[in-house]
Amino acid sequence: MTNMLKSFFKTLTLSTPSIYSVAYKQNKSKLRHLTAVFFGSGVVLYSLQKNEARMANINSKSHNFMAEPITSWDVLSSREDDMKTKMELFIMKVQADFCRSLEAEEESDKKFIVDRWERKVGGGGITCILQDGQTYEKAGVNISVVHGTLPASAVQQMRARGKKFRSDKLPFYAAGVSSVIHPRNPMVPTVHFNYRYFEVTDDDGSTQWWFGGGTDLTPYYLNEADVVHFHRTLKEACDKHDDSYYPKFKKWCDDYFFITHRGERRGVGGIFFDDIDLPAQNKVFEFVKSCANAVIPSYVPLVKKHKNDGYGYHERQWQLLRRGRYVEFNLIYDRGTKFGLATPEARYESILMSLPLTARWEYMHAPEPGTEEAKLMEVLRNPKDWVKI
């Protein structure tokens, strides 16, 4: 590693969040320029994320990360077997793998922009965005690793879900990856996934932990083979762990992504679960890993298959209208968005990266019966079993 790179990482570690962000971008562009002279282009962004000396002890695959992990390598190394470490390194890998896999299908030369941010009151995140590309109109892949004291509203929400806490001031730790991909072509569905790990410590020192997450698909035009492929891939990931998971989490997904006032679902579902703390921490982690690792095989083939499909003005307008519905769900009903935005010092730009680049609302729009648009509406109103359970 060159001295320049070493001093660059030093800057990162020492600087405050806002200075950090500027320093990161400035150094990155300087480095990109400089190294292009020595090595040619392409290799540099990858090299930037390397910190080989420290990471060697932990995970030989971490060189692919989009940026430095949020927790320092020293701390990560000191608690290798702790779920906090395992989850942080896993979501870093999921983020990097998904970004690379998506970039391979981008038809322009656009790449993900990497925005590493710190949270004043504990932790931070890495937001990767590819905006206004040819394949992707807006693609966001975010990881966050945050800790601190739970706000009262969150404690209340968790109690309402059945959690038993003695104290009201609860130290917490949360690590998660979340992503929404809005492609340009209306024949390519939007995908969303989120996998998260939570730890809360009560005043007697006891710790409660759980995992949550899910993956779901939002097509603009219904291609049944695509939906079957998507659900089948998720089912296979679930079945490896427990036969009861897919049917249960498929239904949970259909129930959750529901736009109540319209009586329709956001999309054709997938899987969704929360508060999973059985049968054992490592078992649940293995299940979550299977689910997150199923994202690429469930979705990227659909991008590849349809990204060059023909479409016209009519299909684009329908896509924008459906994106309006996506915005309605996310801003009115989605617990993650509501909870996130209500948190003090919320990193709202990372929460709202899920919103499409463009959306449209027409008064009383309804597709003509018998059209492809009406066919989609039918399954949004009456969810189907896509895979034999």
Q: Which residues bind a copy of itself (CB under 8 A)?
A: 115, 127, 129, 131, 138, 140, 260-262, 320, 324, 327-328, 331-332, 338, 341, 346, 348-349, 352-353, 355-364
Residue with smaller CB distance to a copy of itself, 167 or 260: 260
Q: For residues 293 and 94, give the distance between their C-alpha atoms in angstroms, rounded to a whole number.
A: 7
Residue with smaller CB distance to a copy of itself, 29 or 72: 29
CB of 242 to a copy of itself, least distance (A): 36
Angle at 307 (CA atoms; ends 136, 259), nearest 5 degrees: 65
- Non-local (6+) Cβ contacts of 336 within 8 A are 178, 194, 351
Residue with smaller CB distance to a copy of itself, 122 or 324: 324
- Non-local (6+) Cβ contacts of 334 within 8 A are none
CB of 320 to a copy of itself, least distance (A): 7
Q: For residues 201 and 171, give the distance between their C-alpha atoms in angstroms, rounded to a whole number.
A: 6
Residue with smaller CB distance to a copy of itself, 261 or 388: 261
Residue with smaller CB distance to a copy of itself, 270 or 356: 356
Q: Which of 132, 143, 2 lies closest to 68 in space, CA to CA?
A: 143
Q: Are 77 and 58 in contact (CB under 8 A)?
A: yes
Residue with smaller CB distance to a copy of itself, 146 or 302: 146
Task: Give the max Cα distance, the chain.
Answer: 66
Q: For residues 104 and 99, give the distance between their C-alpha atoms in angstroms, rounded to a whole number.
A: 9
Q: For residues 1 and 24, give the distance between their C-alpha atoms in angstroms, rounded to a whole number.
A: 17
**356 secondary structure, DSSP code:** -
Q: Which residues are part of the catalytic machinery?
A: 192
**Beta strand spans in 98-155 (E):** 113-118, 123-131, 136-149
Q: Are 168 and 128 in contact (CB under 8 A)?
A: no
Cβ-in-10-Å burial (0-12, 13-18, 19+) of 389 comes to exposed
Q: For residues 18 and 15, give the distance between their C-alpha atoms in angstroms, rounded to a whole number.
A: 8
CB of 341 to a copy of itself, least distance (A): 5
Residue with smaller CB distance to a copy of itself, 5 or 321: 321
Give per-residue burial for 4-33: e unless 16+ CB within 10 Å, then b: ebeebbeebeeeeeeebeebbeebbeebee
CB of 142 to a copy of itself, least distance (A): 10
CB of 344 to a copy of itself, least distance (A): 10
Q: For residues 257 and 217, give the distance between their C-alpha atoms in angstroms, rounded to a whole number.
A: 10
